Amino acid sequence: MKKIIILTTLAFGLIITQSCNSKPFKKIKAENKEDSASYMIGISVGYTLKMQEIPGINADLIVKGIREVLENDSALSVQEANMFLTMYFNELREKQANENLKKGNDFLAENRNKPGVIETESGLQYKVITEGTGKTPTENDRVKCHYRGKLLNGEQFDSSYDRGEPAQFALRGVIRGWTEGLLLMKEGGKYELYVPSALAYGPRGQQTIGPNETLIFEIELLEVIPVPQNE
């Protein structure tokens, strides 16, 4: 119980700090610290739900559910509620995955006919921005690259340029679309890769990348780093 209180206090402190730094803090009618804590729990839950971007969420029914549990007036157990939510979010994710797959397929079907775009047998599409003149990596090599990744809507989800430092990684340790694309490049080259979901993160997605997302990467191959045979 003590650990929960400590973690919650830290979360509340962060929320209060963010609120004070960004917007005038809204005063509430709190008779005591318990009232203040109750309000902050609502704020914390609200931020968590907002980050999840659940469509059509009804705040009034959320409050009703919380009130019924706290007042021992709920007709449902936590197991029943969790079972429903598991089914609901699985259905929601499957729907999103199907929509993303269709958007990706439609994009790739149109993109393959654009000037300069080449499609490989696997379905990877790429366009040469700058042709390199140095070494071409093998699957056993490490590489140093600058890159930025975007979703089809143009939203950037990652960028080594923004971090101010190129990334180094083994070609065997990245998504298939990257491995295949970099094997086509030479040092000094810069390509734009259009990666189907099957060559990216597939139906599982990853963090800010939804299920079955088609991704666009701008990749600059700076250096091929051969890995010693004994590693």
> Is residue 225 a contact partner of residue 145, using CB atoms and an 8 Å limit?
no
Active site residue 217: yes
Active site residue 175: yes
76 φ/ψ angles, rounded to the nearest 5 degrees: -115, 145
Active site residue 158: yes
Q: Which of 39, 47, 157, 161 is catalytic?
A: 157
Q: Which of 126, 191, 194, 201 is catalytic?
A: 201
Distance CA(138)–CA(226), nearest Å, equals 8
Distance CA(173)–CA(178), nearest Å, equals 10
Active site residue 39: no
Distance CA(87)–CA(89), nearest Å, equals 6
Q: Which of 158, 161, 169, 225 is catalytic?
A: 158
Q: Which of 126, 147, 191, 194 is catalytic?
A: 147
Active site residue 225: no
Active site residue 118: no
Q: Which residues contact 95 (CB under 8 A, 6 or more apart)?
A: none
Q: Which of 41, 62, 175, 225 is catalytic?
A: 175
What is the set of active-site residues? 147, 157-158, 175, 201, 217
